[in-house]
Chain A
Amino acid sequence: MISTGLVIAVAGAVLAALIAGMGSAKAVGMVGEAAAGVVAEDPSKFSKVLVLQLLPGTQGLYGLLTAVLALSQLGVLGGSALQLSVAQGIAYFAACLPIMIVGYFSAIAQARAAVAGVGIVAKNPSQNGKAITMAAMVETYAILALLVSILVINGLK
């Protein structure tokens, strides 16, 4: 029988992948629109704007990584799910919160920085390294959130 604690823990893992993934999808889409605008005028800039478009996609991957780690630890992936108390379930859910929330918002924020970077590439393609660096700075906070989520999940073993 599946315990309530396990349901709460699995919900946390699923939401980590879902919400961070939603943020990344929205963000990559937004930068993709901007990139398309530049490529429509100058197709030779495709490779430069593609890097910028990829940047906010990482939050979705972090969400997935957290979800896989949590599900693996809960035994869901192996087919022998653990029996968890409600408190243990809530602890797993809380462990997933950092990447769930920070992942979503940092993806959107990074998309805005990347769109601005696309503008730089449009006007001055030689400065694309600076555009990438500026957008990549936002990544720091997604990595910190991922780190916290992983540390807590590992601590719950």
Chain B
Amino acid sequence: MKDTEFAYAVARIRSNEARLLSTASIETLINSQGYTDALKILSDLGYDNLESVGEEKALANVLRSAFELIYSCAPDKKCLDFLIVRNDFHNIKALIKCMVAGIDAEKLILSPSVIDPQVIGEALQKKDYSLLPEFASETVKRAYELITTTMDGQTLEVFLDRKSIEASVILAKQSKDEFSIALANLMCAVADIKIALRCLKTNKDEAFIMGALADCALLDKDRLCEAVLSGEDALCAYVKNIGFDVFADSIKKGYAAFEKACDDMLMERVKHAKYQCLGIAPLVAYYFAVDAQVKTVRIILSCKKNGLNNENIRERVRVLYV
């Protein structure tokens, strides 16, 4: 698809970018006198329904609205699928588990999603997986067989989480957009390193680690697994070796610092889209920008609620797009 076809979409996104929270607004929020004061500031900044709707729901709605905006103006909707496919895998997980347990999954369904959850439900009911798109049909079939034969919820979760990461890369490749492919690969690498660190902290064995890690173009699964089994220093050395130096430093600082480093790395990758006036990149970057903003607001509110000091909050605040 030609980048010039995104002229309308990018212009709309640029107008909306002007409404994103600035670093100065975040600083004001950090310096607020407690949780109630933070809510009041946020209300002035446009988050006026945090109390009435509920914090979590209101923040989720902000992210959903951001996706709806980029989806509504994108000339090719399919090129954005890689951003939301994780919701599909959450829905698959919920629908399979609820089906096995004989309960209603409606309240657990996430939107937006690539596949209509009703179609997933129908495919599971009829055992007709051809109803699903290619990237999901075989996975749903295997996931259903896995839960019915092992009745092991954790194995199902691990399997679907891996497939979710891989599906994001597959869909990005289908879009044939270089920016999306590079970003999906980076997201995959970041997810794998996160999994590796979790496996290290919980002393998982080789079979579990290999089953949890997604195939990634930016790293070698076998070597990553080997590094996890050898300990934290080996993991840090490996991530440093493949060019993720910032992760090696953050792993040593603790999990909160590592999570922040992961989000910040993705933001740094999308940030150059600020200087692109055409193409899909500004749309994807806007979604990441809102995501980072929502995470930051959530962190600040949570810290204020728990009485953390401003320095501790600043350490956790994500790099913003604007």
Task: List the interface of chain A (C-beta within 8 A of B).
Answer: 30-31, 33-38, 40-42, 112, 115-116, 118-119, 122-124
Q: Name B residues whose Cβ lies closer than 8 Å to a Cβ of A.
A: 4, 7-18, 73, 277-278
The 6 A-B pairs at the shortest CB distance, nearest first, are namely: A37-B11, A41-B15, A122-B14, A116-B277, A37-B12, A34-B11
Q: How far is the CA of A34 from the CA of B13 in the complex (A)?
A: 10
**Contact among B4, B10, B12 for A41, CB-based, below 8 A:** B12
Chain B at the A interface: SS class: helix
- Whether the pair A38, B7 counts as a contact (CB closer than 8 A) is no
- Give the residue of A30, A33, A112, A123 whose beta carbon is less than 8 angstroms from that of B14: A123
Determine the residue in chain A with the shortest Cβ distance to B282.
A119
* Closest A residue to B3 using CB positions: A112
Query: Nearest CB to that of A108 among chain B residues?
Result: B4
Q: In the assembled complex, how far is the CB of residue A114 from the closest CB belonging to chain B, in whole angstroms? A: 9
Q: Which of A30, A34, A116 has the most CB of B within 10 A?
A: A34
With a cutoff of 8 Å between Cβ atoms, the chain B residues found around residue A115 in the complex are 7, 10-11, 277-278
Interface of A is mostly: helix
Bound Cα distance A65, B86 (Å) = 57
Known A-B contacts A30-B4, A30-B7; the reply to A38 vs B14 at CB < 8 A is yes
Q: Which residues of A contact B17 (CB under 8 A)?
A: 122-123
CA distance A53 to B123 in the complex (A): 50
Contact of B7 among A33, A42, A123, A124 (CB under 8 A): A33
Tell me, rounded to whole Å, the shortest Cβ–Cβ distance linking A40 to chain B. Answer: 6
- 11 more contacts with CB within 8 A, not counting A38-B12, A118-B277, A123-B18, are A31-B7, A34-B277, A37-B7, A37-B14, A37-B15, A42-B15, A112-B4, A116-B277, A119-B11, A119-B277, A123-B17
List A contacts of B9 (CB < 8 A).
37
A123 CB, min distance to chain B CBs, angstroms: 5
A33 to B11, CA, bound (A): 8
- For A37, what are the chain B residues with a Cβ–Cβ distance below 8 Å? 7-15, 73
Alpha-carbon separation in the docked complex, A116 to B3 (Å): 13
Check B278–A112 contact: CB distance below 8 A. Answer: yes
Complex contacts, A35 vs chain B, CB 8 Å: 11
A55 to chain B, nearest CB (A): 15
Q: Do A38 and B11 touch (CB < 8 A)?
A: yes
CB contacts (< 8 Å) of B4 on chain A: these are: 30, 112
Chain A CB count within 10 A is highest, among B13, B277, B278, for: B277
B76–chain A nearest beta-carbon distance, Å: 15
Evaluate contact between B16 and A41: CB separation under 8 angstroms. yes
21 examples of A-B residue contacts, CB within 8 angstroms: A33-B11, A34-B8, A36-B11, A37-B10, A37-B15, A37-B73, A38-B11, A41-B16, A112-B4, A112-B278, A115-B10, A116-B277, A118-B11, A118-B277, A119-B10, A119-B11, A119-B277, A122-B14, A122-B17, A123-B14, A124-B18
CB distance from A144 to the nearest CB of B (A): 25
